[in-house]
């Protein structure tokens, strides 16, 4: 039955002029990094719920992440957060990750959970606190050298709650100063991914509030600094795919933190609230990957895709499986866009024809295609079902409650 469904799918796509072998190759090349913090207990400012069976230490977070990779084949690295994932010996954590077929991905410095940082970390008006924060960034560079990580996701909670509370322009200079020092400590193959966020936890102004501020800073720092787009960090109505296209054209799109949001930074499972937005983001990336400018093509190929979610009420491993599968599904759909058809319609000034050529790709059921590539890779057709029928979820209950949390 499934073979027949795929045969029909392939015939249908070939007739539309889609190169199915290329689509499959690109789907097999997709890699999505999962975050260590997505496996632990998390919550809101109101309550962190304790779940049974969550990892008790960074090593167990990698054990759980390995399940996601084993069943999907697309989640081979795990981002770590320092000090949430502090261990005595990072070399040991690296070996543990490798023994599971994983690698340690982006290092995320934590500059928001220390009493000293109430009024800012790298933008604090107190030089001693700025020094402490910058030292933490440098410590993270040292850790990355031990773990083999090549990237840093930099998110700063820095901002103010009231007009006059901080000197906005001085804080801007301090931010640049601290990041320039960190930049100077990088190995040539490392990258800073600068994240922006419109608000929260600061509610009046945030030092890096939007992509333009992150982009400007990246440009001033140098070619090893790029912008990280967290899909949850925009004001309602923002056109994220436009930002993505703009950054790709500037060859400065470093990576994504994928999640869904309905209101603000809800950190819900990616693709659950507005899968069409995710599809349209991939439309821009796939389009850039076929650009005539080699730099734009190269940027499109070097994007780091990461999940950034806190699973407050969900079961952690199934939530992560759902997340990476949702990303894979939307990429699969975006790969079915016939760009010639879109461009020809746009050239004819056929507005509805162009829109139709984009949307039609979204409307295909890509299940037979995903089953086919999983089969070719020796993976289960339905990774979620395979996980739920395995004993892993029951076995980890022996860890008990009160595991790692943020
Ligand atoms: C915070 O809103 C950001 O999305 C960061 O990426 C943060 O470091 C991550 O959520 C882990 O706390
Ligand atoms: Zn993020
Ligand atoms: Zn966030």
- The per-residue pLDDT for range 197-250, each reduced to its tens digit, is 999 999 999 999 999 999 999 999 999 999 999 999 999 999 999 999 999 999
Tokens of 28: 């097999």
The whole-number pLDDT of residue 313 equals 95
Angle, vertex CA 179, rays to CA 299 and CA 87, nearest 5: 90
pTM: 0.98
> pLDDT tens digit string along 1-50?
578 999 999 999 999 999 999 999 999 999 999 999 999 999 988 999 99
Closest ligand 1 atom to Cα of 308 = 10
Rg of the Cα atoms in the chain: 22
> pLDDT tens digit string along 163-196?
999 999 999 999 999 999 999 999 999 999 999 9
CB-ligand 1 contact for 196 (6 Å cutoff): no
Which ipTM was obtained for this model? 0.95
Closest-approaching ligand to the CA atom of 255:
2
For domain 30-337, give the CATH number: 3.20.20.150
CB-ligand 1 contact for 311 (6 Å cutoff): no
Q: What is the mean pLDDT of the chain?
A: 97
| 6 touches 368 (CB < 8 A) | yes
Q: Which residues surround ligand 2, an ion (CB under 5 A)?
A: 230, 257, 308
Q: Where are the domains of the chain?
A: 30-337
The size of the chain, in residues, is: 406
**Cα of 90 to ligand 2 centre, how many Å?**
23
Q: How far apart are CA 13 and CA 97, in angstroms?
A: 39
Ligand 1 mutation pick, 136, 156, 230, max ligand atoms within 8 A of CB: 230
| 78 touches 69 (CB < 8 A) | no
């Amino acid at each position: 039955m499934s073979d027949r469904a795929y045969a029909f799918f392939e015939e249908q796509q070939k007739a539309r002029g889609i190169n199915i072998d290329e689509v499959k190759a690109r789907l097999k090349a997709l890699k999505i990094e999962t975050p260590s913090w997505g496996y632990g207990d998390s919550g809101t400012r109101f309550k962190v719920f304790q779940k049974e069976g969550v990892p008790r230490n960074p090593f167990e977070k990698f054990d759980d992440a390995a399940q996601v990779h084993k069943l999907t084949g697309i989640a081979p690295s795990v981002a770590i957060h320092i000090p949430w994932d502090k261990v005595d010996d990072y070399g040991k954590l690296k070996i543990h990750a490798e023994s599971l077929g994983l690698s340690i991905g982006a290092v995320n410095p934590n500059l928001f959970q220390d009493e000293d940082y109430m009024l800012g970390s790298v933008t604090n008006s107190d030089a001693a606190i700025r020094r402490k924060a910058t030292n933490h960034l440098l410590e993270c560079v040292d850790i990355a050298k031990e773990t083999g990580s090549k990237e840093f996701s930099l998110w700063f909670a820095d901002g103010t709650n009231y007009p006059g509370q901080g000197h906005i322009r001085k804080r801007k200079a301090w931010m640049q100063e601290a990041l320039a020092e960190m930049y100077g400590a990088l190995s040539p193959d490392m990258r800073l991914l600068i994240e922006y966020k419109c608000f929260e936890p600061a509610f009046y102004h945030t030092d890096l509030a939007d992509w333009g501020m992150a982009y400007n800073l990246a440009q001033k720092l140098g070619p090893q600094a790029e912008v990280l787009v967290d899909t949850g960090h925009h004001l309602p109505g923002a056109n994220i795919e436009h930002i993505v296209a703009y950054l790709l054209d500037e060859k400065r799109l470093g990576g994504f933190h994928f999640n869904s949001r309905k209101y603000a930074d809800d950190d819900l499972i990616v693709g659950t609230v507005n899968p069409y937005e995710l599809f349209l983001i991939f439309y821009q990336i796939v389009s850039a990957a076929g650009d005539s400018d080699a730099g734009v093509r190269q940027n499109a190929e070097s994007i780091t895709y990461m999940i950034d979610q806190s699973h407050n009420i969900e079961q952690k491993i199934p939530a992560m499986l759902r997340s990476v599968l949702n990303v894979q599904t939307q990429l699969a759909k975006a790969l079915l866009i016939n760009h010639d058809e879109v461009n020809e319609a746009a050239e004819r000034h056929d507005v509805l024809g162009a829109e139709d050529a984009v949307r039609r790709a979204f409307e295909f059921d890509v299940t037979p295609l995903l089953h086919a590539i999983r089969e070719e890779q020796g993976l289960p057709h339905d990774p979620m079902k395979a996980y739920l029928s395995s004993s892993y979820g029951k076995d980890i209950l022996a860890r008990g409650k009160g595991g790692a949390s943020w």
